[in-house]
Amino acid sequence: MFQNEIKFIYDFVINRIKNLGEVFTIEKLLEADIHPAIKKYIEAEIDFLIYDDRKKLLQNSIFDYTGNKIAKYFELISQEIKKSKRVNVEDIQKLVLQAVSFNANYVVRPKWSLTKLIFGNNKSISNEELSMMLKYIYYYDYLKNIIEAYLEKRKLLTISVTEFELILNKIDRELFQYDKQKLIDNSLISIADFFSIGALNRSSVTVECVENFLKEKNLIDELIKLKRVFSEDIRKPIPVDDIKKVIYSTAPIVTQEEEKSEAELSTNEELKEEEIQTSPQETEAEKSEPSSESISQEVVSDEIPEEESEEKVSEEVEQILDNIEKELESDEETDEIKPLTEKEEQELLSFYDKELKKVDEVAEETNEIDSSLKELEQEMQKALDNEIEISDEIEIEEVIEFENEGEKENIHLDITQRTDVEKPVEENEASSEDISDNKEKKTNRQKDIFSYLSKKEIDKIIDSVFNSDSEDFASTIERISECSSYEEATEILKTVFTTYKVGELSKEAVLLTNAVARYFSQD
């Protein structure tokens, strides 16, 4: 979506950056004549990389680097890095493209874009990381302010993607009930501001952008009005004022085709029929007049002195937070859905079909995750209660050799062969005592980590956790197998999750962690 616009803005920004010379510092880049939304994204990305390095230091160091005073010094380090770090245009090209692409989608679909930016493929993130990601956004400051106030009020340590999406929906519901027109005006200005980078006309937007915004905000009435009037060329720029007139109009909207058909009918009709039609038209015009007067009265009544509005800002935010918190804590939804007419249902059918498909996919994925977690818990409990003696054992060194040769398929073949060969050993009491004595003497455990994972699960872990790096996966399993305790193994897992930026609560990370835990439960 918006590929042409993104490419145009990207080329324009890169040409501005080239004026800085072949090599320049990050500080000079942030002072360049480029759009503040792009500079905001670049600066936030640099801050997040420094934050990520600091997190590694906190995890691996023997000293404690937490605390507000130490955090201030890290901020000074961040500022110094921006002054001294030198980059060229090639180094910054990818980051500029990310900044342009994010903002182009964010001004049109803020909820979807913000969720993708913050969570990616993760199911949950920490409160601190969420605060860092909120620094990326330039438009719609009210989202950032309300989310930060919500986190501070609830004292959350982590937040899931489901809860975050629910919060965004509640914010939209509360704010659009409070002052819908003001929020729409602000959004139209933001869309026009970003998409006009490098253009002469800074007060026009395409119908496509406005349609996507209204769809995400579920503003059905405004969307229908827009599509009825501007249904031909949705990529043509339209003045913002014309867009406002259409979506805020209270009179029934007549399209160009309907006007032509009415004109043709009027020429063919007789004078008597025309006279009959004039009377209802006059009455309709008279009825429409008070509606315009009422609109003007509403606009006047909505005008509040600046001093009073500033005094009520904190109260309004607090009220919104209270409403969001009450709805999150309640178990039942009390939303009332107004029935649509047959004509409106036909016009909105295509929009709702896509949304329903997305909801079904999310529900199926959630059920699959819940069932897999329950199965893992049951298997782990069985492994802790009953130790199963296995006659044939494949040494983990054989698996590592195959991994180092880059033959990932052979690893899975060995694992499947091993699972086929495994059978419970039925022996007499004397032989079982001998096996238990030999087990105490052996330094290696009877079952390796691979025995707790299926072939399909190993494939998912390699792809999702290790970014398809099978050699790193094999070496990590080898290091974990050599650990003397589960606590030592968890440190290796934490390093892996941090390196590949994978959440510890993601499905594949939970699979790997449970397999390691069951492996060490043999001790």
Task: For residues 129 and 83, state if they share a domain.
Answer: no
Among candidates 183, 87, 176, which has minimal Cα distance to 141? 183
> How far apart (Å, rounded) are the C-alpha atoms in residues 138 and 270?
61
Of the candidates 445, 452, 453, 451, which has an alpha carbon nearest to the alpha carbon of residue 522?
Answer: 445
Q: What is the mean pLDDT of the chain?
A: 73
The pLDDT assigned to 303 comes to 40
Same domain, 83 and 217: no
Residue 348 lies in a domain: no
Of residues 84, 100, 99, 21, the one with CA closest to residue 50: 84
Q: Are residues 427 and 481 located together in one domain of the fold?
A: yes
Residue where a domain stops, chosen among 80, 106, 132 = 106
- Identify the CA nearest to 496 among candidates 481, 520, 479: 479
Of 53, 82, 106, the domain-final residue: 106
pLDDT digits (tens, 9 = 90+) for 493-513: 888 888 888 888 888 888 898
Tell me which range, 134-143, 400-409, 503-512, is most confidently predicted by mean pLDDT: 134-143
| 116 falls within a domain | no
Give the tens place of pLDDT for each residue, 27-76: 888 888 899 999 999 999 988 888 888 778 777 777 777 777 887 888 88
What residue has token string 């989310």?
Answer: 147
pLDDT at res. 64: 74
Confidence class of residue 448 from pLDDT cuts 50, 70 and 90? confident
Predicted confidence at residue 417, as pLDDT, reads: 42
Residue 292 lies in a domain: no
- Counts for the chain of helices (H) and strands (E), in that order: 23, 6
- Answer yes or no: are the C-beta atoms of 207 and 223 closer than 8 Å: no
Global pTM reads 0.52
Do 127 and 100 belong to one domain? no
Instruction: Identify whether residues 142 and 39 lie together within a single domain.
Output: no
Verify that 58 and 147 share a domain, yes or no.
no
Strand partners, 160: 124
301 occurs within a structural domain: no
Over the stretch 512-523, which tens digit does the pLDDT of each residue have? 988 888 888 876
pLDDT band at 99 (very low <50, low <70, confident <90, very high): very high
More confident residue, 415 or 500: 500
Q: What's the rounded Cα separation, in Å, for the pair 88 and 100?
A: 18
Q: In the prediction, which pLDDT does 109 show?
A: 93
Tokens 């020429």 found at: 267
Cα distance between the two ends of the chain:
55
At a CB cut-off of 8 Å and minimum separation 6, what does 125 contact?
118, 119, 133, 158, 159, 503
Same domain, 51 and 153: no
My answer on whether 68 and 208 are in the same domain is: no
Question: What pLDDT shows up at residue 98?
Answer: 93
Tell me, yes or no, whether 98 and 199 share the same domain.
no
Tell me the pLDDT tens digit for each residue of 160-195: 999 999 999 988 888 888 888 899 999 999 999 999
**Residues 102 and 220 reside in one and the same domain:** no
Is the same domain home to 1 and 76?
A: yes
Segments forming the whole domain that contains residue 19: 1-106
Number of domains within the chain: 3
For 343, half-sphere exposure in the C-beta direction (CA atoms, 13 angstrom radius) is 3
Residue 289 domain flag: no
The reply to whether 190 and 274 lie within a common domain is yes
Length of the chain: 523
In this prediction, residue 349 carries a pLDDT of 54
User: Across residues 12-34, what is the average pLDDT?
Assistant: 89
What pLDDT digit, counting tens, does each position of 251-295 carry? 554 544 555 555 555 555 544 454 455 444 444 444 344 443 333
Give the burial class of 143: count Cβ atoms within 10 A of its Cβ; 0-12 exposed, 13-18 middle, 19 or more buried: buried
Residue with tokens 């962690």: 513
The pLDDT confidence band at residue 298, using thresholds 50, 70 and 90, is very low
Q: What is the mean pLDDT of residues 293-320?
A: 48
pLDDT band at 323 (very low <50, low <70, confident <90, very high): low
Q: How far is CA 104 from each of CA 41, 82, 108, 110, 416, rounded to the nearest angstrom? A: 12, 26, 7, 10, 48
